[in-house]
Amino acid sequence: MLAPNICGYAGEQIFDKQLKAAKLPKVKLDSLQLIKIAQSSSIGQERISYAMPYLLSEYGKQWGKKFIIDWQDVPASVILDYVYGVDQLFTFRGWTIGIDVTVNPDAIADKSDKLKRLKLLLSAIGIDFSAIALISKTCTTEETTAALRLIIKGATVVEL
C-alpha cells in the first residue's frame, strides 16, 4: 500500500511505469490539433476557459498589455490533462484508452462525472474508452493488463 499522502503526480508516475512495463504504446497527438478540436465544441471551449489561468501562468507570453498563448509551446500532454481531463493516452489491443489517474478515493465520483461530460470531446480525439485509475499500490504487469481488460469491457474505475 502507498503512503496515504502520496501526491497525484507520484500516482501518475507509477501508472506511467506500469504502462511501460506492459509495453503499451502511448498515443501521440499534436497540441494545435487538440486545441482546434476542443474549440469546436461548447464543452471544449468551457474546458479551455477553465484551464486558461494555469496555462497563461505557465505558457503565456506578454503581448502588449495582455498575455497570450502560442499553443505550439504547450505540450500535448498538458492540454490532454487540463482540457480533456486525461493523464495517460495509450493503445491496448487496438483500442485507444484515456486514463485519469488519482490517488484519492474521494475524488472518484467527481472525476467520473467529468469523464461522462467529456465523452463526446474524448471521442472526437479518437478515445474509445476512458476510465479512472485509482493508484493505491504498485502492481504487476499482469494486474495492469487485467485492469485494462476490465476497461474495454466497460469498467469506468479500476484500482491498481
Cell of 57: 501562468
- 94 in any annotated domain: yes
Q: Does 42 score more than 50 pLDDT?
A: yes
What total of structural domains would you count in the chain? 1
Strands 157-159 and 95-102, bridge-based pairing: unpaired
Q: Does 18 score more than 80 pLDDT?
A: yes
Cell of 103: 490517488
- 2 in any annotated domain: no
SS3 label, residue 47:
helix
Name which of 105, 96, 93 is nearest 132 in CA terms.
105
Tell which wins on pLDDT, 141 or 106. Answer: 106
Which pLDDT score is estimated for 58? 94
Which pLDDT score is estimated for 1? 42
Structural domain harbouring 69 = 8-159
Q: Which pTM was predicted?
A: 0.88
Percent of the chain with pLDDT over 90: 73
- 1 in any annotated domain: no
Q: Does 6 score more than 60 pLDDT?
A: no
Which pLDDT score is estimated for 44? 97
Q: What's the mean per-residue pLDDT of the chain?
A: 91
- 73 in any annotated domain: yes
Identify whether the C-beta of residue 51 lies closer than 8 Å to the C-beta of residue 44: no
Which pLDDT score is estimated for 3? 46
